[in-house]
Copies of this chain bind each other. A is one copy, B any other.
Amino acid sequence: QIAAEVFTTRGGAGPLQGLKVVVTAGPTREKIDPVRFISNRSSGKMGYAVAEAAREAGAHVVLVSGPVQIPTPRGVERVDVESAEQMLSAVQSNVVGADIFIAAAAVSDYRCREIACEKIKKTSDTLNLALARAPDVLATVSRGEHKPFLVGFAAETEHVERNALTKLINKNLDMIAANKVGDGLAFDKDDNALTVYWQDGKRELSLTSKAALARQLVELIAERYRARGQT
Cβ contacts A82-115/B at 8 Å (1 or 0 each): 0000000000000000000000001011100100
Q: When chains A and B are docked, how far (Å) is the Cα of A32 from the Cα of B129? A: 12
A122 is an interface residue with CB less than 8 A from chain B: yes
Count of residues in A whose CB is under 8 Å from the partner chain: 37
Residue of B nearest to A132 (CB): B126
A39 is an interface residue with CB less than 8 A from chain B: yes
Q: Given A119-B157, A122-B109, A127-B131, are A37 and B34 neighbors across the interface (CB < 8 Å)?
A: no
Q: Given A38-B32, A38-B38, are A133 and B125 neighbors across the interface (CB < 8 Å)?
A: yes
Q: When chains A and B are docked, how far (Å) is the Cα of A41 from the Cα of B187? A: 20
Beyond A34-B182, A109-B120, 19 additional contacts (C-beta under 8 Å) are A35-B106, A35-B155, A35-B157, A35-B181, A36-B38, A36-B108, A37-B38, A37-B39, A37-B40, A109-B122, A110-B122, A110-B127, A113-B126, A122-B133, A126-B131, A126-B132, A126-B133, A127-B131, A129-B129
